[in-house]
Amino acid sequence: MTQSLHSKDGQAYFQDILNSICLIEEFVLGMSFREFKDDAKTVAAVERKLLVISEAAIRLGDIAQELCADIPWRDIRGLGNWIRHQYGDIDSGRVWEMIVQDLPPLKAAVAMALDTFPLTN
């Protein structure tokens, strides 16, 4: 690993990402896009968990890319800024697209990384 992140910290950040994705899945379970965009509480909850995913990705640094090379980590890290700066005008269609298209491969990659994460500091 090229970064001085402790294994337990890396595991915790990957786990935060995985937990956030699982919660987002629970939040939108059985919802259509129309139901999602019209439910302010669900939208806010999803946005909050996307912020957690973004922050955990930032904290993972280079380890994320090393363990999950096919994931667009730069975009994930930038997601937090996008949400913060667009807070009043976030495109719910783009958020829904992330939920449906982007989170499943991220979830699979993070789960695999957790299974193979180095156990040494």
| Prediction pTM value | 0.88
Whether 111 has a pLDDT exceeding 60, the answer reads yes
**What does the pLDDT look like over 21-46, one tens digit per residue?**
999 999 999 999 999 999 999 999 99
**What does the pLDDT look like over 47-104, one tens digit per residue?**
999 999 999 999 999 999 999 999 999 999 999 998 988 777 889 999 999 999 999 9
> CA-to-CA distance for 56 and 34, rounded, in angstroms?
29
Residue 115's CB is within 10 A of a number of other CB atoms, namely 7
